[in-house]
Amino acid sequence: MKVIFNQDVKGKAKKGEMKEVSDGYARNYLIPRGIVTAATADNINTMKLQEKAKKAQLEAEKAQAREIAEKLSSVQVTIRARAGSAGKLFGAVTSQEISDALKQQHNIEIEKNKIVQSEPIKSYGTYTVKAKLGFEQTGDISVLVVEA
């Protein structure tokens, strides 16, 4: 009997796969527990439509990541910080501060865990930090740290 798996089954199949299993195994175990559905023409068409929708969603997310990477190359984020007499900051500029400043100043939303600093920002000046946007896309964020 051909069935479509609704969830992963270790050693058998992954979610969304269509496989041939024995009739008894399908009728007595898999179908009653909701692990699979019978591979009827309607169910197969539904599965194909879901796969198409998933691919379209993935392409849209890739395009969005590319668009954000292009935007990041043309913006500069200004962060105000306090420092001592030698120009060293009290603490360091965090990824959270950079993320918040991007949202506030340029309306670009990037999660703090996607911002990668090669070294901590501990003094005034201009720095470049990387943003991992997913789908092998990265962007450079120009950060200007000025006196508060």
Which structural domains are found in the chain, ordered by start? 2-62 (3.40.5.10), 65-147 (3.10.430.100)
- Other C-beta atoms closer than 10 Å to the C-beta of 97 total 20
- In this predicted structure, what is the pLDDT of residue 111? 92
- In this predicted structure, what is the pLDDT of residue 4? 92
Distant-in-sequence, close-in-space partners of 63: CB < 8 Å, separation ≥ 6: none
Q: Which residues of the chain have pLDDT under 70?
A: none
Distances in whole angstroms, Cα of residue 19 to Cα of each of 31, 38, 53, 81 = 13, 10, 22, 60
CA 66 to CA 45: how far, in whole Å?
32
Give pLDDT tens digits for 20-33.
Answer: 999 999 999 999 99
- In this predicted structure, what is the pLDDT of residue 11? 87
- In this predicted structure, what is the pLDDT of residue 104? 93
Residue 13 DSSP class: B
- In this predicted structure, what is the pLDDT of residue 91? 87
Q: For residue 3, give the H/E element and its range.
A: strand 2-5
Task: Give DSSP secondary structure letters for 16-52.
Answer: T-EEE--HHHIIIIITTTTSEEE--HHHHHHHHHHHH
